[in-house]
Structure 1
Amino acid sequence: MHFQPVIAQLVADAVEKIRINPGNFADGRKDFEEKVYETEDDYIQEREYLFDAMLPLVEKCKSLNRAMRIGTNHGSLSSRVLSFYGDTPRGMVESAIEFADICRSQDYHNFVFSMKASNPLVMVQSYRLLAAEQYRLGWDYPLHLGVTEAGEGEDGRMKSAVGIGTLLADGLGDTIRVSLTEDPEFEYEPCNRLAEIADSRLAKNEDAKKRQEAVKTYVDTRDITSYKRRHGDLPAAKEGDAVDVSGFLHKDGAVIAEVSPEMLSAENSQYLYQQLGCKTAVGMPFKDIATVDSIFMREVPSSDDTAARTALRRLIEVSMGVVVPAEVLEKDPVPNAVALMELEDALEKNGELPEGAIRLAVTVHGDESDETLAKIKDLNPAMIFLKVSPDLSQLHASRRVFEILKKEGITTGIVHHYQTDTDDSNELAL
């Protein structure tokens, strides 16, 4: 119920559960004077107003055994919270906690929390902060997960998966809703699928438990109360480089597309440039902000396929990385390609590159020893492909690898290499 505490009490007579938004339930109209709070005590003094507005509803819900959702929304924080905490996840959490304090003061515990935002990164940080705060306080109230106004189509499903899926993988969340700007019946399928994926990966699933236990022991040092991206270095230039290798990855997240030799043929190359997001001029490709950073090829065109080799060379010349398994390059060299090796093989060969290759990339599977992963620093690869073994938990094995790399000061860019059995776009979006 928004803005009208009195109406909320009337609604509580008729329904089993109501939702209030702390941002506009009592002070969302921003009627009181805008001010800057010098101290936390000054901020807390305003709570008396909230208590008086909230108390009648709490008493009614308790007497009628009604449930309540304290649902904070990132886009509608009160002016009071904005004045003290700013437009932050911390402000969302504190706003919900003080309303929960009012409920608890009346021995009313039939409520759940939600921390919704249209930005899934803000949403994830808010829920993690709330979970940490509940742990500190000794609370264990349920969490309802959702991304507000996620959108439609693939975008809406991907945003929901990033937000809801991340938290479910952490073991957080009791109920979920996927909010799409589509007819309501289309929300059920992705919502149900996210729940199924989460259930299949939690320890209560015997297969998932085995995969988790198969991951080598590691210490998790992540600060879950803050959201900070890992810093990954771009490939560094070396004297004598024929191409700009720094463009093989992107500082804000790289995109790598798989390409087959047939796609480089004379009749297909222009279409391929378009599919890779390249601008073209007189048939020549150029990189743009939306262009794929690198391509991955399991096979390469034969050396006598002039048209395909020319198309490949043009992509490399505009700083697009071409990543190819080292054993393929040993048979058919590609000038200035990136040779991809298993970490163990790269260490055994001391990082020696096939003929013509400009840089090394290594594949790790998460089952390597700490000592083996630490040796990546000696190889100084351009990028690391993280392809977790199917016998391991994807989440826990990945976090272990990141922890070891952080400990060893290895800041090489990492590419998540994930293979799936489906080509369904909706399934892939989740």
Structure 2
Amino acid sequence: MQTLSSPPAAAPEAAFDTKITRRRTRPVKVGDVTIGGSAPVVVQSMINEDTLDVEAAVAAIQRLHEQGCEIVRVTVPSMAHARALADIRTRLLQDYQPVPLVADVHHNGMKIALEVAKHVDKVRINPGLYVFEKPTSDRTEYTPEEFAKIGTKIRETLEPLVISLRDQGKAMRIGVNHGSLAERMLFTYGDTPEGMVESALEFIRICESLEFYNLVISLKASRVPVMLAAYRLMVHRMDELGMDYPLHLGVTEAGDGDYGRIKSTAGIATLLAAGIGDTIRVSLTEAPEKEIPVCYSILQALGLRKTMVEYVACPSCGRTLFNLEDVLHKVRSATSHLTGLDIAVMGCIVNGPGEMADADYGYVGKQAGAIALYRGREEIKRVPEAQGVEELINLIKADGRWVDP
């Protein structure tokens, strides 16, 4: 017997919105860059150079910044490294320009953090390592009293740093890593996203009790499903608690090459598409400068930032009337500096005008040996294929949208 069901309820209009609506977060200043609020998603990376080598560190920071990295992180494993940041900052001001700097502080890092807080704009701490407790092999549980005792020690150790950053108007990133959760969190919550979130919340509450709110939160993991679950749970818990801290997104230890890029994109873009995330870092086992184009490509693909020309190109097929790959390369070489434009290169007329409807300009193979040039949906002229790129440039110039490279 056939049963009838009620028609599905209409989906909310927002479900069909083609524009990503970002989660509302508080703005946090890092030097002259704002993370969160209404600011664009911020791109950052980290130098590989030893911070003690001031000249090499300054050069690396400058390279990254010139590539488009808006915040640069350095590691400070010792007091000497922390003091070197003073020289690095001075050299940047003298020889280049101010660059927002973040210092990474790890094992038992209170003294190092207090020193480096004088010289950088943000300090990143890892809750699992900031007060490092050596694991004991014979432990079977943490009693509530033991858990609370360590919590008290964490507060005592964190408080001077919080007060220093608060009074200087600087920021802190509470950066939880799945691979370095504190032992008591592992015993209490397991090796889970819940343990990551509770680790972050413990530090957030200490900061809030001291009236310090310039916080950025991250919950990174090397496995994408864990990373996604941790950030989603963090958002859920913050919503419950009335917190609005911006989130730093990343897949840690993503590797290199295509897979490292795909893995990072799978995690970062999934969350950004849901409106989650205010700053990103793509962590590749490659030169840090290679991370920046991936970040901007993710943001451009999602329509969150316009930092390059958007090229619309068909994959080519038997209908294609010219060497599409070669022509796309020529068009890109001639126009890639025209940031903000959308340019389509289509192999034939079958899908061309429809698929490139949102482009500013179109280059379409309409008949053998001839190219049709479009402005938006309107065909402007047909030209010999050999003159196609030159005439596209002339069309852009005629519209007053050309700038010299």
Q: State the TM-score, normalized to the length of structure 1.
A: 0.45
Q: State the TM-score, normalized to the length of structure 2.
A: 0.48
